[in-house]
A and B are shown apart, each in its own frame.
Chain A
């Protein structure tokens, strides 16, 4: 069975602090895909990043960075120098290929950046 755990339900940081959102997943498959989505108060889920199980190269995109560690089944997300606009709920998700298009979402982490 697939499972995605985001142990942090709510995080508050002061603007310009760095913050890391944790994601741990469970799957028996060797091929799978991991995603991060952001959901601001407006409601729309916005895609941030995708990683496949064969690509453990970490990535930096502006103030965002992702750390994929297959050995610990983790796919953590760091925001550097946080801004008020980063306040949102962040979802980690897992997808297996050819499963009828099911995404398994984590429970989400609500991030509040205090000015």
Chain B
């Protein structure tokens, strides 16, 4: 079983919908990440939270809104998405500093109609 749990595994939404992706870890990691991955491409960093504070926003459109309610949870709120936002969204966590390994969840596959 993966140590980073993402829900839902699959999500289909219309362009006017509001939905959320959820991520949970219980490894005591204090850094959490959202990545977006298109087919046959590497993961692209979207957001990083360190100690529950947003530390990196890679110029992501405001229709993606991250939230870190506590050290174990990370959400990605989705609103007014475009079909080109369809992708695999990966959550990861790590200790914040040094040579820390990112532990990834299995991803949420999003389709925007």
Contact = CB atoms under 8 A, between A and B. Distances in A.
Interface of A: 33, 35, 37, 42-47, 50, 52, 91, 95, 97-98, 100-103, 105-108, 110
Nearest to B104: A45
B43 A105 contact: yes
Interface stretch (B13-21, B48-56, B75-83): B48-56
Contacts of B101: 35, 47, 50
Contacts of B102: 45, 47, 103
A107 B55 contact: no
Nearest to A45: B104
Closest 8 CB pairs of A and B: A105-B42, A45-B104, A44-B106, A33-B99, A43-B107, A101-B48, A100-B56, A47-B101
Given A101-B33, A101-B96, A45 B56 contact: no
Given A101-B31, A101-B55, A101-B56, A50 B99 contact: yes
Contacts of B50: 100-101
A46 B50 CA distance: 22
Interface residues of B, number: 29
Interface in B67-113: 88, 90, 92, 94, 96-107, 109
Given A50-B99, A101-B31, A101-B48, A43 B88 contact: yes
A6 to B, nearest CB: 9
Given A35-B101, A43-B88, A47-B102, A102 B56 contact: yes
A24 to B, nearest CB: 15
Interface in B21-76: 31, 33, 40-43, 45, 48, 50, 55-56
B56 A42 contact: no
Contacts of A98: 97
Contacts of B94: 101
Contacts of A105: 42-43
Contacts of A50: 99, 101
A95 B96 CA distance: 12
A42 B99 contact: no
